[in-house]
Amino acid sequence: MEKAVAPITYRQKDLDRMFWLLLVAGLVFFAIVTVPPGARRARSLRQDAERAQRAVTELERTHETLSLRERALQSDPFYNELVLRTGMKYTRPGEKEIQTTLPGSSAAVAADAPVDPFVPSPAAGPGMAAQVTNWALLAASAVMVAAAFILFDRPSPVGQTQA
């Protein structure tokens, strides 16, 4: 009686191994298709967010500086005179201009800081070959998982118990 049961058990173990092999292979193919592009996109978005945060910080500093300058222009006559003298080369009658800074440089109080514009990096999609490969791997993974469940996941024969 043991001889009749042994081949069926051996065959069932092979079917179980084939089921798990197809299932794992399908899930691995699925992971290959989905994980790397998602990781690349997430890294790109993180870098864009960091660049945007740096731009916001720079703009906040510029805003603060310009707000201070605006208040000084409204209330400080000495700052107004500094702006006139540095920006418009104003001198009072009878004065001679004496340069106290290096040629080409200007007073830091009257100069505007340039702000670099923030432009997000373009989303570079995969090429046609990569798309075909991804769709093929995705289809193969779906077929393998389906085949594992359809072909090899069968109920035990009546009278046998699973060990």
What is the rounded CA–CA span in Å between residue 79 and residue 71? 10
Entry pTM:
0.52
Q: How far from chain centre, in Å, is Cα 40?
A: 7
Q: What is the pLDDT of residues 70-90, one digit of tens each?
A: 999 999 998 888 888 877 878
Query: In the predicted model, is pLDDT for residue 59 greater than 80?
Result: yes
Task: Locate the domains of the chain by residue range.
Answer: 15-115+128-152
How many C-beta neighbours within 10 Å does residue 79 have?
Answer: 17
| pLDDT for position 1 | 46
